[in-house]
Structure 1
Amino acid sequence: MGIPTEMVGSIPRSAELLAAAAAAQSGDLDHAAFQALQDQAVQDTIATLEAIGSPVVTDGEQSKPSFVTYPIAGASALSDGGVVIPFADGHQRQLPRLTAGPFRYQAHAEQYLRTAQRYATVPVKQAVIAPSALSLLYPADGIPGYPREKFLDDLIAEAERDIRGCLDAGAHVVQLDFTEGRLSLKLDPSGQVLRDFVHLNNQVLARFTDADRARIGVHACPGADHDSTHSLDVDYADLLPTLFQLTVGNFYVQLASEPDPDRVLRVIADHLPPRARVFVGVTDPIDPQVETAEQVRDRVLQAAGHIPLDQLGTCDDCGFAPFADDQSTSREIAFAKIRARLDGTAQAAEHLGC
C-alpha cells in the first residue's frame, strides 16, 4: 500500500520563463508566444517530476502569476491599497482592493489542470485559492451599491465553480491553499477571523457531496516567500483545532520547519477527523539545505508514532515558489528536495511494513 505522498504545488520558474513574463508584460512578446513558453515549462516540470518517481504531479504553477491572484489577473475593478501581508524578513506582499461588483473570476484553475493533463502520465493534483483569501479583496469601508453580503454570494459561487471544474476534469485531488489561516491569528489573536474564514470555506464545501469532499484538501502553512514566512511565530496549537473543522478529506500541514514537531503531532492526533488523511510536511522549501532520504524517513516514522498509518501521508511544507517572481530557491534544489521526500517516504513505508 505504501504511504501516499504529494507535493503542495509550485516549482520555481526558470530564468528564461521569468524573462519571457517580463517581455510579455512590456509588450515585447506576444501572448501566443508567451503561452507556448509556459506550456513548455509545464511539460518540462511534469517530465522531471515523473522522472524522479513522483506518483502525483502538478503543473508547478508555471503559468500562474501567483497562487492567490490567478483568478483576478487582468480584472479591471481593482485598485492598489489592499491588505498587506508582512513577512518576517521585512518584505511585504499586498493584495489589490476590489472597487466594484459583481465579483467574477477572470480565470479558473481547470485551465491549468487540463494543460497539465496533456503531458502527465500519472494523476494530476490541482491547487486552487481558498475563497477566504479572496474575501480579503473586499474593502473595510464597503463598495457603494455592492454590499459585502452580495460579494460573498458571488465569491462562493465562483469558488464552487473553480473547484467543481477541476473535479469534473478528473483532478486526483483539489487542494485549497489556506495560508491566510495561520496569518489570521496574527492579525486577530481572538480567533474570530479564523472562524469566519473556516465558516466561509465550509459554505463552499457544503455544495459538494461526501465523495467530492474526499477528493478535496486544504493546505495550511506559515507562508513561504523569498525564504521567509509571515506567521511561523503563531502557535500551531491555536490554528489546528479550528483548521480540522474544515469539511475536507485531506489536510496538508507544514511540519518540517516546526521547532517541536512532536507537540504539533499530538495536537493533530487529538483533532484530526476520523475519515480524513493528514499529509505532514517532511521537507522545508525555504531551507537551502537539501534533506537526506534518511532525515525524511525519520520524520515520517516520528509522525507514524502519533497518526494511524491509514490516515498518514507526506508532503513538502509549502510550494517552492508560490509567487512567480520568487527566485530564492532554484529548480534543482526543489527537485532534489522532492526526490528526498519520495525516497524517504518509501524507506519509512518499508520500515513500517506498509
Structure 2
Amino acid sequence: MTIPTEPIGSIPRPAYLLAGLGDFAEGRIDAEALAALEARALAETISRFEETGSPVLTDGEQGKQSFATYPLAGSDSLAPDGVVIPFADGHTRQLPKLTAGPFRYQRYADEYLTRAKKATEKPVKQAVIAASAIGLVYPPDGIEGYSQEQFLADLVDEAAADIRRSLDAGADSVQIDFTEGRLSLKLDPSGGLLRSFVELNNRVLDRFTDEERQKIGVHTCPGGDQDSVHSLDVDYADLLPTLFQLKTGRVYVQLASEPDPDRVLAIIADSLRPDQRVFVGVVDPIDPVVETAEQVRDRVLTAARHLPPDRLGTCDDCGFSPFADDTSTSRDIAFAKIAARVEGTRLAAEALGLS
C-alpha cells in the first residue's frame, strides 16, 4: 500500500496560448488556429506533468478559459450581469445570467479528457464544475415560462451527464469543483445556502452507483485566483461536517494554507465517512515559495496522526490557474510544486512503512 497523490486541475497557460486567446477574442485568428495552440499547450503540459513523476495527470485545463463556466461557452441564452464573486484583494469575477430555457450544457468535460488520454499512457482524472455553481446563473427574479424547478431538473440532468460521459470515456476519477461551498457561508452564515448546495449536488450523485461514486470526488478550497482568495476567513468547522455529507468516495481538502492544520484534521477525522478517502492539500499554489519534499513529507505525517493511512491521500490546495487570464503563478513554479508533492508523499509513505 502507498499514499495516493493527485493534482487538482489547472496549470498556468503558456504565453503563446494566452496571446492566442486574445487574438481569437479580437478576431485576428479563427477557431482552428486557436485549437492548434490549445493542442500544443496540452501536449507540453502532459509532458511536463509526466516529468514530475505524478502517478495521475490532468489536462491542466489548457482548453478552458474558466473552470466554472466551460459548459456555458457558446450559449446564446446568457447575459453578462450575473452573480459577482469578490476576492480579498478587491478584484472580482462575474458569472453570466441565464435569460431563457430550456437549460443545456454547450460543452461537456469528456471532450478535454479524450484529448488528454491520447497524449499519455498514464491515468487521467477529469475536473467538472458542481451543479451548485452552475445553479447560480438562474436569475433571482426568475425567467418567464421557465421556472426554477424546471431549471434545476434540467441542470441535474446535464451535470449528471457531464460526470457520466467522463466516466464512460475512461477517467481515472472525476473531481467536482465546489469552491462555492465555503463561499456560501459568507453569503449565508446560517448554513442554509450550503445545505441547499449539498442537496442539489446529491441529486446529481444519486444518479450513480456506490461503486461509481468511489471514482467521484469533491474539491473544496477558499478560491485561488490572482494570488487571492474569497473565503479563507470562513471557519472550516462550519463547512466540513456538511461537505462530507456529499455522496462521493473522495474528498479533496485545501489544507497547506490553513493556519491550524491540526484543528482542521481533527474536524475531518470526525466527519469522514467509512466509504470515503480524503486527499489533503500539501502544497499552496498561491505561495510563490516552492515547498521542499521534506516539508510535504512532514505535512503528510501530520495528517497521518489524525487519519488512517488507508483513508489518506494528498493533493494541491487548489488549481494553479482556474481562469485562463490568471498569470500570477508561472508554469515552472506550478510543476516544481507538483514534483515536491509527489516526492514528499513518497517520503511520507516510506516513513510510515507503506512502501
State the TM bucket, normalised to the shorter chain. Answer: over 0.9
1:131 matched to 2:126:
no
Where in structure 2 are the equivalents of 1:145-156 lying within 5 Å? Answer: 145-156=145-156
Tell me how far apart the structure 2 counterparts of residues 32 and 90 of structure 1 sit (CA, whole Å): 36
Deviation at 1:33, TM superposition (A): 1.4
For normalisation by structure 2, the TM-score amounts to 0.99
Tell me how far apart the structure 1 counterparts of residues 39 and 276 of structure 2 sit (CA, whole Å): 34
SS in 1 for 2:6: coil
In the alignment, which residue of structure 2 is the partner of 1:174? 174
Deviation at 1:55, TM superposition (A): 0.3
Deviation at 1:277, TM superposition (A): 0.4
The one-letter amino acid of 2:333's match is I
Deviation at 1:121, TM superposition (A): 1.4
In the alignment, which residue of structure 2 is the partner of 1:285? 285
In the alignment, which residue of structure 1 is the partner of 2:184? 184
1:15 matched to 2:15:
yes
In the alignment, which residue of structure 2 is the partner of 1:157? 157
SS in 2 for 1:119: coil
For normalisation by structure 1, the TM-score amounts to 0.99
In the alignment, which residue of structure 1 is the partner of 2:79? 79
1:334 matched to 2:334:
yes
The one-letter amino acid of 2:131's match is P
Deviation at 1:52, TM superposition (A): 1.6
In the alignment, which residue of structure 1 is the partner of 2:226? 226
Tell me how far apart the structure 1 counterparts of residues 218 and 327 of structure 2 sit (CA, whole Å): 25
The one-letter amino acid of 2:155's match is L
Where in structure 2 are the equivalents of 1:74-153 lying within 5 Å? Answer: 74-153=74-153
Deviation at 1:49, TM superposition (A): 0.7
Tell me how far apart the structure 1 counterparts of residues 165 and 136 of structure 2 sit (CA, whole Å): 23
- The percentage of aligned residue pairs carrying the same residue is 68
Deviation at 1:329, TM superposition (A): 0.2
SS in 2 for 1:145: coil
In the alignment, which residue of structure 1 is the partner of 2:215? 215
Tell me how far apart the structure 2 counterparts of residues 28 and 109 of structure 1 sit (CA, whole Å): 27
Moved more, 31-40 or 125-134: 31-40
Tell me how far apart the structure 1 counterparts of residues 2 and 19 of structure 2 sit (CA, whole Å): 41
Tell me how far apart the structure 1 counterparts of residues 271 and 236 of structure 2 sit (CA, whole Å): 12
Structure 2 gaps, min length 5: none
In the alignment, which residue of structure 2 is the partner of 1:343? 343
Deviations 1:239-284 (A, max 9, x none): 0000000000000000000000000000000010111100000000
The one-letter amino acid of 1:115's match is R
Deviation at 1:211, TM superposition (A): 1.0
The one-letter amino acid of 1:128's match is V
Tell me how far apart the structure 2 counterparts of residues 323 and 345 of structure 1 sit (CA, whole Å): 28
Deviations 1:289-319 (A, max 9, x none): 1101010000000000000011000000000
1:29 matched to 2:29:
yes
The one-letter amino acid of 1:167's match is L
Deviation at 1:36, TM superposition (A): 1.2
Tell me how far apart the structure 1 counterparts of residues 191 and 217 of structure 2 sit (CA, whole Å): 22
Moved more, 77-86 or 240-249: 77-86
Moved more, 139-148 or 33-42: 33-42
Deviation at 1:68, TM superposition (A): 0.3
Count matched residues: 354
Deviation at 1:74, TM superposition (A): 1.4
Tell me how far apart the structure 2 counterparts of residues 25 and 206 of structure 1 sit (CA, whole Å): 39
Tell me how far apart the structure 2 counterparts of residues 174 and 80 of structure 1 sit (CA, whole Å): 29
